[in-house]
A and B are shown apart, each in its own frame.
Chain A
Amino acid sequence: MANKKNSVLPGFKLTLGYTVLYLGLIVLIPLACTFWKASALTWDQFWHIVTAPRVMASYRLSFGASFLAALINLFFGLLVAWVLVRYQFWGKRFVDALVDLPFALPTAVAGIALTAIYAPNGWIGHWLAPLGIKVAYTRLGVLVALTFIGLPFIVRTVQPVLEDFDREIEESAASLGANRWQTFWRVTLPMLRPALLTGFTLAFARALGEYGSVVFIAGNMPMKTEITPLLIITKLEEFDYPGATAIAVVMLVASFVLLLAINFLQWWSHRHYAPA
């Protein structure tokens, strides 16, 4: 309802009506339809599908590799953000722009490029092959692709916080006798914690649903290197719609939980950084 007390501007009913209609038609009704389709299954049938050994193996890979990739990005993302904010070096602006490449590069391109590099005869793969390390067509390949995909998230959540960071706090710590490492570990890092957690969750959520970059490098062996989104596609191609729907519902619930977590973290970090 238009609150005319608060705004004299026109167009409230038109814009809100259009927003809700478009949102409903494109997003909400199709998503609701998926849950409705899944409800045609009995609980036992649903449970049987989503806990089948092949599906469980795909969860372990998808959740495990996404978690590890987000962890790698947590460390390197903080490092990159730190270097970009605190230090001056030649080509910094170029590097800063390049960080967003995984957002801009289509996932299929990333997938075939990473596969070409890490294949046993690839640029990096042929150095790793004599050491007995296989990346392409193994779980390690999945990890590499998911690390690539999640790379910008932590950099881009930590960077603005670090830019606004009040250096006087670090100066106080130093003047009270803390060395550089103590200052970082006890003062700076705790201040960055909400941003790091938000970035981690964003990277994890993105990796969990990722498909394009992984399918090329993973090898897609059932029970071994098959991610959950691929399993959904396989079921759809076999016209096993109930199976695909049930697994999709599990993925959707996981996404919604993560979305709520991200919203909570963002609220928390806003409160955390709000000027006193």
Chain B
Amino acid sequence: MVPASTLSTPRRAAPRRVTAEPPFVRWLLIGVALLFLGLFLVVPLAAVFTEAFAKGVGYYFHSFNDPNTLAAIKLTFIAAGIAVPLNCVFGVAAAWAIAKFDFRGKTVLITLIDLPFSVSPVVSGMIYVLLFGAQGLVGPWFIEHNIQIIFAVPGIVLATIFVTFPFVARELIPLMQAQGRTEEEAAHVLGAGGWQTFWRVTLPNIKWGLIYGVILCNARAMGEFGAVSVVSGHIRGQTNTIPLHVEILYNEYNFVGAFAVASLLTFLAIVTLVLKTWVERKNTALRGAEN
């Protein structure tokens, strides 16, 4: 399509196009949109940091000098450190099966992979309590063998895996479907083995999609609250992740402490947004170069 701007260059002084709004309408719309976003997005962001530093910088850093806070940070890294790689491997495997082969029930499979996104976080945690809890289906067996899942670290990891389940898969499936299978087939015909084809041909092609999925998956894994809250049991220094620790501090009226720890998560969210925007830009640049 010829850009409309090239067509109108000879008549540079022409009045505004018929498909543009008058300037005051334009500025009014921009103003209202920015006001709405400012009120709902910028003000909460600013509030986190203002409250965190309400008693000064020294007090802010003092909030982190607490073994329970450090334990919560450690547990969050453990949960994300297990959930993200597992869902990554799953995402790649699912996308390979779905994009490179034809089989019946593919649409159903894609819908089922998306399922955890439509389940309430609270229900996501509860299903594991019903399964592994003391009155659960297989819980008594595990307890007999001295394996604690609910109100312990394995439950938190499971709940985290569940809520972040679709992130990588849903990025990779459409991407690999769009890329087709000709490049892999060419590699195969030229004598490359399965792994060789994957590492040398597929992975470079899906690299940015994979990174994108991992960024989103990690943000959710570290920030999940509802699902983890149900399975955690809130044992201080043992089964509290950062978001759960924020809740405890907040409910104890230790607002500065709560917001100081929350500012870590806010920082994570900002880093996530920056990385995400960077990958998006990188990705369109790559796509532009290919075409």
On A, residues with C-beta under 8 Å from B are: 1-3, 6-12, 14-16, 18-20, 22-23, 26-31, 33-34, 36-37, 76, 79-80, 82-83, 87, 89, 93, 95-110, 112-114, 116-117, 122-124, 147-148, 151, 167, 170-171, 174-175, 180, 183, 205, 208-212, 216, 229-230, 232-233, 236, 239, 241, 244-245, 248, 251-252, 255-256, 258-259, 262-263
Contact = CB atoms under 8 A, between A and B. Distances in A.
A18 B90 contact: yes
Contact of A83 (B33, B47, B185): B33
A95 B37 contact: yes
A9 B181 contact: yes
A15 B184 CA distance: 16
A3 B37 contact: no
A9 B185 contact: yes
B217 to A, nearest CB: 12
B262 interface: yes
B194 A117 contact: no
A180 B24 CA distance: 14
A263 B111 contact: yes
Contact of A209 (B93, B122, B247, B255): B122
Contacts of A256: 118
Interface of A is mostly: helix
Contact of B111 (A116, A210, A259): A259
A1 B250 CA distance: 54
Nearest to A148: B40
Nearest to B189: A8
A248 B123 contact: yes
B130 A87 contact: no
A98 B42 contact: yes
Q: Which 5 A-B pairs have the closest CB atoms?
A: A209-B120, A106-B223, A212-B225, A211-B226, A174-B18
A260 to B, nearest CB: 9
5 contacts: A11-B194, A18-B90, A98-B273, A107-B243, A216-B250
A236 B126 contact: yes
B259 to A, nearest CB: 7
Contacts of A110: 44
Given A183-B19, A258-B118, A3 B102 contact: yes
A241 B130 contact: yes
A112 B123 contact: no
Contact of B123 (A232, A239, A262): A232
A233 B229 CA distance: 9
A103 B43 CA distance: 16
A93 to B, nearest CB: 8
Given A83-B30, A109-B262, A209-B123, A30 B194 contact: no
B211 interface: no
Contacts of A262: 118
A154 B255 CA distance: 33
Interface in B94-127: 94, 96-98, 100-103, 109, 111-116, 118-123, 126-127
A171 B118 contact: no
A139 B94 CA distance: 42
B36 interface: yes
Given A33-B137, A98-B37, A248-B126, A259 B118 contact: yes
Nearest to A228: B120
A12 B222 contact: no
A182 B19 CA distance: 11
B161 interface: yes
A99 B103 contact: no
A80 B37 contact: yes
Given A19-B97, A95-B37, A105-B223, A26 B165 contact: yes
Contacts of A255: 118-120, 123
B197 interface: yes
B115 A27 contact: yes
Contacts of A103: 216, 219
B4, B36, B219, B268: most-surrounded residue (chain A CB, <10 A): B36
B229 A114 contact: no
Contact of B224 (A28, A106, A259, A263): A106
Nearest to B275: A104
Nearest to B216: A103
Given A9-B100, A117-B43, A112 B246 contact: yes
A18 B87 CA distance: 12
A230 B113 CA distance: 26
B181 A236 contact: no
Contacts of A80: 33, 36-37
Given A9-B185, A241-B130, A251-B123, A170 B265 contact: no
